[in-house]
A and B are shown apart, each in its own frame.
Chain A
Amino acid sequence: MTISSYWQIDTAAEPRRAEPSLRPRLPALVRDRRRPSQNRFDYYAQLAQAAAQTGFDGVFLPYRRDADESRIVAAVVARAAPRIVVVPEFPASVGSAVYAAKQATTFQRSTGGRFGWAIAPDADAATRAAEGDDIGDDALHERTDEFLTVARGVHDRRPFTFAGRHFEVKDGGFDAPLNRLPFPKLFLQGEDEKALALSARHADVHLFRAAPAERLAAAIAWLGELAAQAGRRVAFGLIQPVLVRETEEEARQEAARGAAGEGALVGSFDGVAADLTRLADLGISHFVLSSTPSLEEGYRVGQHLLPRLHSLTGARRAVA
């Protein structure tokens, strides 16, 4: 099993970083020639380049309602950073499924197929009302299901016709060259039965939240079974905050200062690499790792943790 690693670029994290308007002005003593156009987009590009330079396979951009929009950021950083896969997360409420699929073709064509799609969890009722998203709780899964059926349908088939409760297409489908590259790799999430059933039908990768190993193992077995029933294979991934240092003691000290994210694996480079390897043994092949400050921690993880992880999982493969 090959391990894929993604670094998280969270547009809502570290909100004052690289945003001169939100920081105190530098003292007059310091000659400051920054222009108003310099803002966090420079930082996002730097994060993506850092991920590419330190050996990550991609970056993952969570959908944030109170910060920069993930697909805009994804396109900006994809052009700025070579090689890596860029996976923005967005909800099925963005609008037309045909339009979203068509945007994906330009992204794939322009980057040599380095685009992924992660569907964000549905928002609560109040948030949906604030977004003009008029849909009841009981129809949310059905809409995501239709959204994905239509998006993949227009990419893969012509003519494609579909009449659902949320989306309708007649004689649709993309012509060459729009669909010359494959549909983006699809990442879905969720821990409940409905989410797993949806993944069994549609996902290339199902992302779990950090959880105890026994719970993960059970969920993996369950989804594996559902996917097999649907005649498909789904890869398993994990969204996992980490806090790593040279020694476990240093990592613990840092965590005591409040630096570790919720559910973070805290430890030495070797220790956390061993933890992740045990998760890989359960069947996890895609790791979405995060830690702040994103740039410094990304370098640390890329430079010191990833080589150890690849070496350990590679050794397991050799034995197997």
Chain B
Amino acid sequence: MSIDFYWRLPTHGCHSSIHRGSYDRGDWSPPGPHNIAPGFGRDQEEDGFAYIDHLAEIAKAAESVGFLGGLIPSFPNTDDPWVISPLLARETKSFRFMIAFQPGFGNPVHTARATASLQRATGGRTLFNIITGGGGPAQLWWGDSFAHDDRYGRTSEWLDVFRGVWSGEGFSYRGRFYQVDGAGLPALLREEEFPELWFSGSSEAALQVASKHADYYLSWLEPFDQLTDKFAKVKERTAALGGEQKCAVRVDLVARPTEEEAWRDIRIGFENVTDATRNQWRGQATDSVGAARQAALRPTEARRYEDLIVAPNLWGGFNLLRGGPALGIVGSYEQCAARLDELIQRGADGFILAGTPHLEEAWRIGEEVLPLLGRNASSLLQAAE
């Protein structure tokens, strides 16, 4: 048994420190003397480096230390993973591009062709994080007016067509959302490996689609017992359909030589959170079940960072420091490795790890935490051998 470890590419700029919320890498903040990769301006006044150059550094760091690749998230104000991946194809060697993607946004036949071409461009390094959207105003922003459960139905049909096109010529399909007559990939493209599918979504509708299509069922970090139940449920459901479901966790880490240093960095970061950030995270309209589970922690109302420690090495205020999920792991290198081992014992087969700043933390976690994995559970190591 071996476990897949991915890193993450920050597609919305990055912070040079977990201590401060300012995006001083990339052009999400106005250009300043301390800003890295400020981008090309209309008048070309900046230094000629764009944010893609910084992302290239992170991807190269991740593959150097042994991560398989990285998740490339997609939200309204991010750069786009379908463009980032081919841009970085030729300057990375083993880095796998996990494209976060809402299937409804692209024609499935066209997307199959694009995916097979990207496989050819990268030597088979493409995979997907299939997302179905948070709903609410954000979906209409994207130009998508489908209701929550309809979107999952559409995702499921989209994947049927995508897979059908890949597997042969003359594929036809009659669904509610897609009808296809005699579709197929050209011969050269059809030889490419079908991309692995990592599937996100916590609702009943999401779990149904995952059990049919997903190679990995991906969850944000949740309290360990809750996550154990969720994984067990997903694995059971897929087993009932005669399949085997792998599960994966997306988790941020603050890993330091000592636990004391790790909490010190959390404390400083927490003390620098502004009211504007708190307000931004309050009252975000969404029909996403995963987002609601996270919001039950109410990190925006906490006054002391200690109030958000929900279990040993488990802290629930990460969204205040860098956006995204609330729960993350905080501790010494050994403690972080031990918590990850525990998650493996509870059913995790894969991880998407991240830390801020993404470049330096890829090196740190790759060099200091990954080598310690498996020590806390000799059974894991034996299984791996």
A43 to chain B, nearest CB (A): 12
A193–B83 alpha-carbon span in the complex (Å): 34
Give the residues in chain A near B76, CB-CB below 8 Å: 174-175
B200 to chain A, nearest CB (A): 18
A168–B82 alpha-carbon span in the complex (Å): 22
* CB-based contact B113/A65 at 8 Å: yes
B243 located at the interface, meaning its Cβ lies under 8 Å from any Cβ of chain A in the complex: no
B324 located at the interface, meaning its Cβ lies under 8 Å from any Cβ of chain A in the complex: no
Q: Are A106 and B110 CB-contacts (below 8 A) given A113-B40, A180-B39? A: no
Q: Are A96 and B83 CB-contacts (below 8 A) given A113-B40, A132-B183? A: no
A37–B183 alpha-carbon span in the complex (Å): 27
* CB-based contact A72/B118 at 8 Å: yes
- Which among B41, B77, B121 is the interface contact of A41 at CB below 8 angstroms? B121
* CB-based contact A109/B87 at 8 Å: no
Tell which of A95, A113, A132 has the most Cβ of chain B within 10 Å: A132
Tell which of A67, A106, A175, A180 has the most Cβ of chain B within 10 Å: A106
A99–B82 alpha-carbon span in the complex (Å): 10
Give the residues in chain A near B86, CB-CB below 8 Å: 72-76, 79
* CB-based contact A110/B27 at 8 Å: no
Output the nearest chain B residue to A80 by Cβ-Cβ distance: B90
- Which among A36, A66, A106, A171 is the interface contact of B186 at CB below 8 angstroms? A66
Interface-lining segment among B137-145, B271-279, B291-299? B137-145
A243 located at the interface, meaning its Cβ lies under 8 Å from any Cβ of chain B in the complex: no
* CB-based contact B182/A41 at 8 Å: no
A96–B108 alpha-carbon span in the complex (Å): 12
Output the nearest chain B residue to A182 by Cβ-Cβ distance: B42
* CB-based contact B89/A76 at 8 Å: yes
* CB-based contact B109/A170 at 8 Å: no
* CB-based contact A72/B123 at 8 Å: no
Give the residues in chain B near A134, CB-CB below 8 Å: 179
A109–B87 alpha-carbon span in the complex (Å): 12
A178–B18 alpha-carbon span in the complex (Å): 24
Q: Which residues of A contact B (CB under 8 A)?
A: 15, 19, 21-22, 36-37, 39-41, 45, 65-69, 71-76, 78-80, 93-99, 102-103, 105-107, 109-113, 126, 129-134, 150, 167-172, 174-175, 177-178, 180-182
7 A-B pairs with CB atoms under 8 Å apart are A72-B86, A75-B83, A105-B80, A109-B27, A109-B52, A132-B179, A167-B143
